[in-house]
């Protein structure tokens, strides 16, 4: 399969330079068709029946295995969730973290990780890495670890500037369990999550799945207490006796049944992915960074990081993002930073990057006139 053929899977790219997989990945025709097919079947026949339910369960198993492949872990260690944040809640509840416990995290996390940590009531030691060079991140985080630290909670890739965090090295050096927010990594860069104790996946981003799809990897499922218990995680139960038996492996943590149509869409998104996609995405991200620098833009992302490229923009970043959208260029502005963020995936090509640069030139002309 050629890259133009792979790109042609995504109808949004026929009109737009879509550079926002860090929020939502583009949806392929196969994903859209799979969702529509299941919805049509359910509309005509109802969302019931043994055959329908059995197929949904079988598809869950297939999707769980496909998700496991994306982060190179065994399928039995993966739970299907609806988001990274839900995975974080499962871990924090299972660990029983609260007042009196100590967690090390950073000032560059998304609220999807920080919010549950704050709500847990645990004491947070926050490493100041947001403005630190990538080479210094390990030392800055390690310095916050004490003998009382029960958990290190950090991203695999910073959602702000694409900085790659050394979570594996931190786990090895400190021997403290690590919870990794993999939202900006899974599907974007090559990942082997087996070194993590817990690793979350947001499938709607770089894996191009439907909304509210994700996963949680748990290295030792039997050592994490299931606290957010729901029907999908039960092997058996006896309501009269007040007992239940969890499913084997990480399935015990599954908190809900993902809609059958979303499962079908996610299965389609994870099937027949092109070889070389991670190297291509990183090459394109570096090319994007170089093009922006050549045009005089203040780029926040260092070379050799992941597939997010963030840069400062003249004037209001939200207004710049809106103006670019009107030109068919879709990027995200990051609140309270005056940064725009371009998310570069394997489905992009040079024309998308050129449209971004051209759109920014037009925006610079607008801001220059308004200032004059």
In a shared domain, residues 322 and 302: yes
- The pLDDT of residue 372 is 56
Residue 222 and residue 285 in one domain: no
Task: For residue 41, tell me if it sits in a domain.
Answer: no
217 and 305 within one domain: no
Q: CB atoms < 10 A from the CB of 67, how many?
A: 29
- Angle 50-70/29-45 helices, nearest 10 degrees? 160
Host H or E run for residue 321: helix 317-326
280 falls within a domain: yes
Cβ 95 vs Cβ 264: under 8 Å: no
Q: What's the token pair of residue 51?
A: 């055959």
Q: Tell me whether residue 225 is in a domain.
A: yes
Claim to verify: residue 63 and residue 180 sit in the same structural domain: yes
Strands 123-127 vs 102-106: parallel, antiparallel or unpaired? parallel
Last residue of a domain, one of 237, 254, 269: 269
Residue 37 covered by a domain:
no
Q: Domain ends where: 245, 269, 293?
A: 269
Residue 220 lies inside a defined structural domain of this protein: yes
Q: What is the largest CA-CA distance in the chain?
A: 77
Q: Looking at the structure, tell me whether residues 231 and 292 fall in a common domain.
A: no
Low-confidence ranges of the chain (pLDDT < 50): none
Distances, alpha carbon 309 to alpha carbons 132, 286, 289, in Å: 16, 8, 6
pLDDT in the model for residue 365: 86
Residue 40 placed within a domain: no
Domain-located, residue 39: no
Would the CA dihedral through 286, 287, 288, 289 be positive or negative?
positive
* DSSP secondary structure, 207-225, as one string: T---SS-EEEEES-GGGS-
Q: Looking at residue 355, what is its pLDDT?
A: 98
pLDDT tens-digit readout, 184-202: 999 999 999 999 999 999 9
Query: Using one digit for the tens of pLDDT, what is the confidence trace for 39-51?
Result: 999 999 999 899 8
Question: 307 with 202, same domain?
Answer: no
Helices 111-120 and 84-95 cross at an angle (nearest 10°) of 20
Distance between first and last Cα of the chain: 50
Do 251 and 282 share a domain, yes or no? Answer: no
Q: Are residues 260 and 319 in the same domain?
A: no
Give the count of domains, the chain: 2
Residues 311 and 336 in one domain: yes
The confidence score (pLDDT) of residue 366 equals: 81
Q: What's residue 367's pLDDT?
A: 82
* End position of a domain, from candidates 206, 236, 269: 269
202 and 288 assigned to the same domain: no
Answer yes or no: is 204 within a domain: yes
What whole-number distance in Å separates Cα of residue 99 and Cα of residue 120?
Answer: 7
- Residues 138, 100: one domain? yes
State the pLDDT at residue 144: 98
Dist. CA 191–CA 205, nearest whole Å: 15
Structural domain range at position 340: 3-29+275-371
The strand pair at 198-202 and 214-218 is best described as antiparallel
Q: Locate 170 and state its tokens.
A: 């931190």
What tokens appear for 94 in the block? 């299972």
Residues 230 and 357 in one domain: no
CATH number for 301: 3.90.1150.10
């Amino acid at each position: 399969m050629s890259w133009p053929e792979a790109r042609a899977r995504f109808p949004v790219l026929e009109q737009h330079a879509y550079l926002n997989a860090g929020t939502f990945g583009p949806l392929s025709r196969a994903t859209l068709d799979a969702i529509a097919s299941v919805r049509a079947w359910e509309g005509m026949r109802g969302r019931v029946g043994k055959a329908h339910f059995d197929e949904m369960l079988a598809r869950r198993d297939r999707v769980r295995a496909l998700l496991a492949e994306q982060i190179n872990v065994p399928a039995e260690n993966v739970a299907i969730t609806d988001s990274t944040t839900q995975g974080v809640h499962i871990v924090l509840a299972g660990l029983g973290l609260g007042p009196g416990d100590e967690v090390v995290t950073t000032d560059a996390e998304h609220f999807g990780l920080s919010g549950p940590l704050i709500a847990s009531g645990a004491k947070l030691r926050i490493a100041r890495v947001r403005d630190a060079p990538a080479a210094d991140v390990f030392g800055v985080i390690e310095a916050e670890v004490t003998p009382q630290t029960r958990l290190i909670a950090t991203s695999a890739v910073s959602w702000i500037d694409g900085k790659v965090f050394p979570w594996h090295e931190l786990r090895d050096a400190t021997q403290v369990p690590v919870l990794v927010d993999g939202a900006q990594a899974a599907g974007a860069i090559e990942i082997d999550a087996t070194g993590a104790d817990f690793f979350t996946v947001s499938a709607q981003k770089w894996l191009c799945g439907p909304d509210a799809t994700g996963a949680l990897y748990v290295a030792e499922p039997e050592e994490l207490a299931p606290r957010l218990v729901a029907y999908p995680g039960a092997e058996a139960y006896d309501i009269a006796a007040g007992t239940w038996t969890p499913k084997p492996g990480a399935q015990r943590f599954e908190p809900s049944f993902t809609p059958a149509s979303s499962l079908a869409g996610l299965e389609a998104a994870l099937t027949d992915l092109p070889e070389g996609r991670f190297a291509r995405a990183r090459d394109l991200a570096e090319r994007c960074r170089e093009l922006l620098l050549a045009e005089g833009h203040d780029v926040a992302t260092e070379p050799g990081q992941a597939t997010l490229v963030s840069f400062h923009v003249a004037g209001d970043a939200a207004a710049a993002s809106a103006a670019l959208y009107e030109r068919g260029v879709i990027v995200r502005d990051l609140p309270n930073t005056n940064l725009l963020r371009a998310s570069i995936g394997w489905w992009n090509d040079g024309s998308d990057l050129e449209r971004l640069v051209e759109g920014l030139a037009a925006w610079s002309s607008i801001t220059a006139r308004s200032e004059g």
